[in-house]
Amino acid sequence: MHQPLTGKVAFVNGGSRGIGAAVVRRLARGGATVVFSYQSSGAAANALARDIRDAGGAAFAVQADASDARALTLAIDDVAERFGRLDILVNSAGVFLTGTLDDFSIADFDKTVAVNVRAVFVAAKAAAAHMRDGGRIINISSANADRMPFAGGAAYAMSKSALTGLVRGLARDLGGRGITVNNVLPGPTDTDMNPAGTDFAASLHGLMALPRHGTPDEIAALAAWVAGPEASFVTGADLSVDGGFAA
């Protein structure tokens, strides 16, 4: 099996379930040693790591709350110290809190920003301090960064569109070291956050060129490509994998 990530060490911020778990599996299958964080899904996280190791890969789960800057930084520092390097960062942790302007609380707004934006900056800052030239920083954003077709998603859409500006700036900051920084923008994807078999899902399919939910593996495939050597000239980009949601 071709393993373009052999010898690489990756940290996935939020990798115990959904898209994050698919990214962990795909990076490990590509040959990387993958450490991934979880907040509360310890059983699922440890089962995922064990399954990957049983299949011959290298994966390890660590507890770290993405909204806790100190805990997240320490987790990344520990990975770099343990393995002597850090090559890939994937920011997959996220919250999807909705509500119209008159009923969306300031606490939910602050949580949205803390997890979906601030944690991405914190993790990138911590990881870049350890990365060698040619590293990769990849954020799992959302097609809602470009299109919000239903009421109640303003704060979520704002948090994801903020990542567009962030990666463009970070791509300039880190380009001299050959470190690329990109967003992957999934469209509707079949996870426990947005399951495919609901009336809400069906309403989204009517907005798409391909009228179905994507799978976590389809999103992970693009993230793994961006993490690999063939994507060395791609940086500062929003890369859509959305079934034509934004077409």
The question of whether 156 is a catalytic residue gets the answer yes
| Residue 224 Cα distances to 10, 115, 118, 219, 234, angstroms | 11, 22, 23, 9, 13
| Residue 170 Cα distances to 12, 122, 144, 167, 174, angstroms | 18, 12, 21, 5, 6
Coil, strand or helix: which one is 62?
strand
Give the separation between CA 36 and CA 19, rounded to whole angstroms: 12
Overall size of the chain counted in residues = 247
- Of 104, 156, 225, 245, which residue is the catalytic one? 156
Give the separation between CA 222 and CA 184, rounded to whole angstroms: 7
Nearest to 213 by CA among 194, 192, 196: 196
Distance, C-alpha 77 to centroid of its chain: 19
The set of catalytic residues is: 156
